[in-house]
Amino acid sequence: MGKQRILQNMEGYALSEFGKNLKDCTSKEKYIALSKSTMQELVPNWIKSNEKFEGKKQAYYLSAEFLMGRALTNNLINMKLKSEVEEILEEIDVNYNVIEEAEDDAGLGNGGLGRLAACFLDSGATLDLPLTGYGLRYEFGIFKQTFEDGFQKEQGDNWLEHGDPWSIRRDDEAVIVSFSNGDVLAVPYDTPIIGYGQNTINTLRLWKSEALNNFDFEEFNNQNYHQSVKEKNDAETISKVLYPNDSNDEGKKLRLKQQYFFVSASLQDLIRKHKEKYSSFDNFSELHSIQLNDTHPAVAIPELMRILTINENLSWDKAWGIVVESFAYTNHTLLAEALEQWPVHLYQSLLPTIYDIIVKIDTQLKKELNAKGIKDEELADYEIISGDCIKMAWMSIYGTSSTNGVAQLHTNLLIESELTKWYKLFPERFNNKTNGITQRRWLLQSNPELSNYITKHLGNDDWITNLTELKKLEKLGDDKGVLEDFVNIKQSKKNQLADYIEEHEGIKIDRNSIFDIQIKRLHEYKRQLLKAFYILDLYYRLKEEPGFDIHPRTFIFGAKAAPGYFRAKGIIKYINEIAKLINNDKDINGKIKVVFVENYRVSYAEKLFPAADVSEQISTAGKEASGTGNMKFMLNGAPTIGTYDGANVEIVAEAGEKNNFIFGLRVEDIEKIKDSYNPKEEYEKVKGLKRVVDTLIDGTFTDGDTGMFAELHDSIFKGASWHRPDQYFLMKDFDSYRQAQQKVNEAYQDRLAWAKKCWINMANAGKFSSDRTIKQYADEIWKISKS
């Protein structure tokens, strides 16, 4: 890709797209011109890449989310063109960083589930494996978050406002998806997934919903203007917004439409392509491995049965064999409320044929169970249709050949408790695939300073595609010069983050303070509230205990609460109230600062992970399936303060408990005390705890008469109809957490000893590459291989 050609392409796009010379374009327009120029260069390789896998078994990743983040820098890095492009732009007096910031984050995901899917696609392409992603092309992301008087406010995330230069619309491969109340058109948009080195370019195919008839001229002519575009509006609603509020039936119906829409379109796509080359389905499962990323796409099981038995006239038994052999299922949760269930009446009204097929699947399951000696009175534990609900997790286990957890502890708990009866039925189907992250984005892209330093000491950049190479750096953990350089790199990333926070949040932070960061989806089990209680206790102690002192600490939060999640929004408001109190109190001499960053997203995360001194992973033991944020912090050299939960267990096993700060109840401890636990006992006896918890109800802070804070208080001491008091053991773990934080404070005083902990964590992060995870999926579940 020559310099002259890049400039010519950019000039051409500037003229044809915007009617301007390149030098007169806005930053956004220059970004689009550069992106389209890059696409022009990579498409021929993309076509070749698709061709080289023809006739071979391929894997397909069905996911409701793909949290891709910005594409430009990631793509240029994987094409090994970033430095060249920066030089070209510099020659024409264009700042690459300004162009990079002009790109919107793709609004296609919310949390770890979607970011994991994005990492997996990157790894699949880098490993030269045929892996295609299928999902929804949401017009609006979950939402843009702002704070108004400390309350979360949601605004539309119109990430497609200026178009998407990285996708290609494929009208020739559109399909029709049918609901009981009408048909809609599913139009595919293809995005290239570029493997590092560009040897393989895979595809993310996202479906946009459109009307078969966009405009009813007769209705318009009769002056029924709204009715004339009703079909268009109804159809486009399906792919309008990621995770619409489903607190009522209309919202639930829209979510179900979304799930079925992208699943049906994807399976029709696979069937069409198969039939173009083969006259039977005897070899379908030999050529297709379809991974269900949690239960959102579980309706794929009855949908493929519908296609094979009704459309293609296969016998039920033959079709069922193909379905089970083709599908695999990833479980992402141990939370009972997150094991997806659907009201029967929604399926009956919206997808009656699919419901009839689910009834047949359920009946078949019961016959199989009877044949295995399970009595009728025990069938309730396995029924897919139970009462008024359809249990999607049960269907996912029964209708697939593989069920995997996403961390060893998580998988063990699935086998030993949550899904133990299913495990006894199908022990050969259960396996573990510990999650991973792509080092291309979370180190090479987000922390080039550390990346260059690693390459310098390894003598090569093999770690970019083989992260276990980092282990060779462990021996440098006692080298004073190396550690001092390492500290300086960390400080440079802290300075960059401090600048960004000052610019975007209007808050000035102490660059030499401990950057203590908790960034993840806002949920009670992740226990942002525990950290809030600790911060407030720390504040009171600093004010009232003359002999008490700490190294300055900046506590940084980043999280979005689902629009209908009242408690989670209450926690955000509470943390912002604490921030207002502390940040405006000059008596504590800036010892503590609290920052809740607005609109946490991938591009913000790329600045936060490299700058962290402390990684907060404080979920209730047994509740976090894996976590991947913990891995990103580790890779960038931040020790974990956390519970023995999810992938924290494996992080500690790799880097050593002495290099991290583990606290709190473990799964076995919770099991022993859960039936007798009384949070009031801890609340009364732990010094300082009562005072901070009471601020929820004693008027210290205001929740604007919403009742949010009282409801949070009640959740701890009264519980609710659906849970016992303090179900996430905030009171029980508070003192242990406080002690672990004191150890952090003490350990940080010896800067080189602290740097060694950080270095050892980074050097032992090799296991947590998504390259390793995907290779395990490819070898053990999908049975796919390189071209």
Q: Is 240 among the residues known to form the active site?
A: no
Query: What interhelical angle do 566-583 and 708-717 show, nearest 10?
Result: 110
Contact in structure between 614 and 516 (CB atoms under 8 Å): yes
Distances (CA, A) of 382 to 299, 304, 411, 427, 597: 18, 22, 19, 15, 44
Tokens of 498: 């401090």
Residue 2, judged by CB atoms within 10 A of its CB (0-12, 13-18, 19+), counts as: exposed
Give the SS3 label for residue 705.
coil
Tokens of 462: 């093999």
CA distance 141 to 520: 17
Q: Is 521 among the residues known to form the active site?
A: yes
From 257, 520, 527, 593, active-site residue: 520
Tokens of 456: 């310098």
From 144, 521, 531, 772, active-site residue: 521
Distances (CA, A) of 767 to 125, 619, 783, 785: 19, 22, 21, 21
DSSP string, 73-94: HHHHHHTT-HHHHHHHHHHTT-
For residue 221, the tally of other CB atoms under 10 A from its CB is 9
Q: Is 632 among the residues known to form the active site?
A: yes
**At 578, which amino acid appears?**
I
CA distance 305 to 90: 56
Tokens of 710: 């009282």
DSSP H or E run through 292: strand 288-293
From 38, 628, 643, 695, active-site residue: 628
CA distance 257 to 209: 10
Query: Which residue has tokens 């359920």?
Result: 362
Tokens of 401: 């050949």
Contact in structure between 508 and 742 (CB atoms under 8 Å): no
CA distance 433 to 121: 16
Q: Is 569 among the residues known to form the active site?
A: no
Q: Please measure the distance between the N-terminal and C-terminal CA atoms of the chain and give it in whole angstroms.
A: 25
- Name which of 69, 66, 119 is nearest 600 in CA terms: 69
CA distance 461 to 443: 12
CA distance 308 to 271: 9
- Name which of 266, 288, 293, 259 is nearest 404 in CA terms: 293
From 30, 493, 632, 772, active-site residue: 632
Contact in structure between 400 and 363 (CB atoms under 8 Å): no
Q: Is 623 among the residues known to form the active site?
A: no
Query: What interhelical angle do 730-748 and 751-763 show, nearest 10?
Result: 110
Give the SS3 label for residue 200.
coil
**At 497, which amino acid appears?**
L
From 115, 429, 490, 526, active-site residue: 526
Contact in structure between 781 and 432 (CB atoms under 8 Å): no
Q: Is 433 among the residues known to form the active site?
A: no
Query: What interhelical angle do 3-18 and 82-91 show, nearest 10?
Result: 70
Give the SS3 label for residue 597.
strand
Give the SS3 label for residue 194.
strand
CA distance 90 to 93: 5
The DSSP letter of residue 722 is: T
From 257, 288, 306, 332, active-site residue: 332
Contact in structure between 478 and 596 (CB atoms under 8 Å): no
Contact in structure between 88 and 3 (CB atoms under 8 Å): yes
Contact in structure between 327 and 399 (CB atoms under 8 Å): yes
Tokens of 384: 């897919």
> Which residues are catalytic, by number?
332, 520-521, 526, 628, 632
